[in-house]
Amino acid sequence: MTEGVHEVRRTVRSLMKRPMYSLVIVGTLALGFGANTAIFSLVRGVLYSPLPYQDAERLVMLWNQFPESDDGNLAVSREEMKDWRAEEGLFAGVAAIRTGEQNALWTLELDGRTEKHDGAWVTSNFFDVLGVDAQLGRTFLPEESVDGSHRVMVLSDAFDGAVRHRRGCASDRVHQRGQPAPRAG
């Protein structure tokens, strides 16, 4: 025990003789510990934490890939979706989401200004398949996914929070392709 204490004292004395060297050592250790903690937190949050959905380990995402195509992941057709839904025992539920480009651009009209926001088209059973409910209002009804029916929207927490603080922002001021999109949730 006394030999260990003696070694620590000798180390401290030698470090005090060269303060810049000591500062570099302490700084390097602090940087290493900080980087290690940040990377571990990121890996833990992304890879090891479960998704915030019911039965998240059972969720899969499917798309088409054709070797002769350079497009990579291609959308699944409505006919393929119908086939998967009709196949007994293949999936507990099948839902679709389409994002990007002009497919899901929403405009918010407020005080004479128009802002464009990204969104997503989803099938009416999307939230049921994920096992989540709307925090405000409701999710989609089955009849709302029939072609020709009125379009309704469910706002994300991020979008809802961004527009809630603005005065006069009503759901009838959100449009998709020039048509009002009433809010369901």
What is the pLDDT tens value at each position of the chain, 185 positions in all?
688 899 989 988 888 888 898 899 989 999 999 999 999 999 888 888 877 778 878 888 887 777 777 666 677 788 888 888 888 788 888 888 877 665 556 776 666 677 777 777 888 888 888 888 887 778 888 787 777 666 777 777 776 666 665 544 544 456 666 666 666 66
119: exposed, middle or buried (Cβ count in 10 Å: 0-12, 13-18, 19+): buried
Kindly give the pairing relationship between strand 97-99 and strand 179-180: unpaired
